[in-house]
């Protein structure tokens, strides 16, 4: 472990260290939900030398985090229909599942904060960026959009109030397929914003953070927000129109991957829905360092445009080499645990 002095964050985020009476409503909400990246007075994370071994975070432990938090709303919905003979109106379903996403997201952000504090971060000599001083409302509204817009879309596209939630042998296959198809659309949409000069201003705000944290995953210009939250999932659903249960579980995994992918936690942390791609080619699977490197590089040289896999980056020549989590530096003997 290194004792090198940490470089300051690229995006100033000091508001949470000031008198709470100076906070606005958005900042108060972020603190109330306890999803602030680095609360005042919290312990500093460890700083590792780049050559230190990177622990592996097993995929089964990721599923063990997601499923006990994603399945209960579906079980409650099923029980209401099965035993109480209650069918949820689409408007009620939107409220119910938006609240479920909020609960899931808060639990996820807290877990990511604990993991980061314990295991440290990639490029650990630099501070991780927090919620910017001048953009508390922007971050809060972006997060609100993530948990509300998708349920509203699903209420129109996939929800049938008379269909009971059900999980079959086909559900995991559809989840994996949905994630890979979504990643194809996202890859070209994301790459275009980096490589077509007149589209870059639509994506520039998201790249003002060089060392992002989980709450900044949805921090972006309005065009990108709608693209990430609605248009890319809509294109995917038009190709693979899954049922509501599959859509809900998939969206929980998407939220999990989007948040963890912006956390920068120093673990070999693959995407649980597409990790199997590792066995079909070197570097086909996505891990946390890939998107961290993407943010460090910036404009035309970023690469690593995928969000759920590195399959399309590998096929189209835009995958970038890993540094700390390269294969020879992985510690498979001391796997990380969920905190």
* Domain annotation covers residue 43: no
* Domain annotation covers residue 150: yes
* Domain annotation covers residue 336: no
* CB-neighbour burial class of residue 328 (10 A; exposed 0-12, middle 13-18, buried 19+): exposed
User: Any idea which of 85-89, 189-193, 295-299 has the lowest mean pLDDT?
Assistant: 295-299
What's residue 290's pLDDT?
Answer: 93
Average pLDDT for 116-139: 86
**What end-to-end distance do the CA atoms of the chain give, in Å?**
20
Residue 6's pLDDT band (cuts 50, 70, 90): low
Rounded Cα gap, residues 72 and 91, in angstroms: 20
Average pLDDT for 48-67: 96
* Domain annotation covers residue 76: yes
* Domain annotation covers residue 168: yes
| Enclosing domain of residue 268 | 54-331
Residue 325's pLDDT band (cuts 50, 70, 90): very high
When divided into structural domains, the chain yields a total of: 1
Mean pLDDT, rounded, of the chain: 89
User: pLDDT tens digits, residue range 270-322?
Assistant: 999 999 998 887 678 999 999 999 988 877 778 899 999 999 999 999 999 99
What's residue 128's pLDDT?
Answer: 85
* Domain annotation covers residue 2: no
* Domain annotation covers residue 147: yes
Lookup: tokens for 132: 């910017």
* CB-neighbour burial class of residue 14 (10 A; exposed 0-12, middle 13-18, buried 19+): exposed
* Domain annotation covers residue 17: no
For the four alpha carbons of 40, 258, 105 and 149, in that order, the dihedral sign comes to: positive
CA 242 to chain centre: 21
């Amino acid at each position: 472990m290194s004792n090198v002095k940490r470089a300051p964050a690229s995006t100033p985020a000091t508001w949470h260290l000031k008198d709470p009476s100076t906070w606005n409503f958005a900042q108060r909400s972020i603190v109330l939900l306890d999803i602030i990246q680095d609360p005042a007075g919290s312990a500093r994370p460890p700083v590792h030398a780049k050559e230190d071994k990177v622990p592996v975070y097993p995929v089964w432990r990721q599923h063990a985090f997601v499923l006990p938090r994603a399945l209960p709303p579906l079980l409650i919905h099923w029980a209401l229909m099965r035993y109480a003979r209650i069918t949820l109106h689409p408007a009620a379903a939107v409220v119910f599942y938006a609240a479920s996403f909020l609960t899931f997201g808060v639990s996820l952000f807290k877990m990511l904060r604990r993991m980061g504090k314990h295991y440290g971060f990639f490029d650990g000599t630099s501070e991780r960026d927090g919620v910017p001083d001048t953009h508390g409302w922007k971050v809060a509204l972006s997060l609100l959009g993530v948990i509300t817009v998708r349920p509203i879309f699903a209420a129109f596209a996939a929800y049938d109030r008379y269909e009971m939630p059900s999980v079959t042998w086909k559900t995991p296959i559809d989840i994996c397929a949905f994630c890979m198809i979504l990643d194809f659309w996202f890859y070209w949409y994301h790459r275009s914003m980096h490589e077509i000069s007149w589209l870059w201003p639509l994506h520039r705000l998201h790249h003002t953070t060089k060392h992002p944290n989980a709450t900044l995953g949805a921090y972006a210009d309005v065009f990108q927000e709608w693209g990430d939250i609605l248009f890319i999932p809509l294109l995917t659903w038009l190709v693979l129109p899954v049922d509501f249960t599959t859509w809900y579980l998939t969206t929980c995994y998407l939220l999990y991957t989007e948040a963890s992918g912006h956390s920068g936690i120093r673990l070999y942390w693959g995407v649980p829905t597409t990790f199997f791609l590792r066995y079909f080619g070197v570097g086909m699977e996505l891990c946390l360092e890939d998107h961290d490197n993407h943010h460090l590089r910036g404009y035309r040289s970023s690469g690593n445009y995928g969000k759920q896999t590195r399959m399309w980056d590998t096929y189209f020549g835009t995958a970038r080499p890993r540094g700390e989590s390269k294969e020879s530096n992985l510690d498979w003997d001391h796997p990380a645990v969920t905190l």
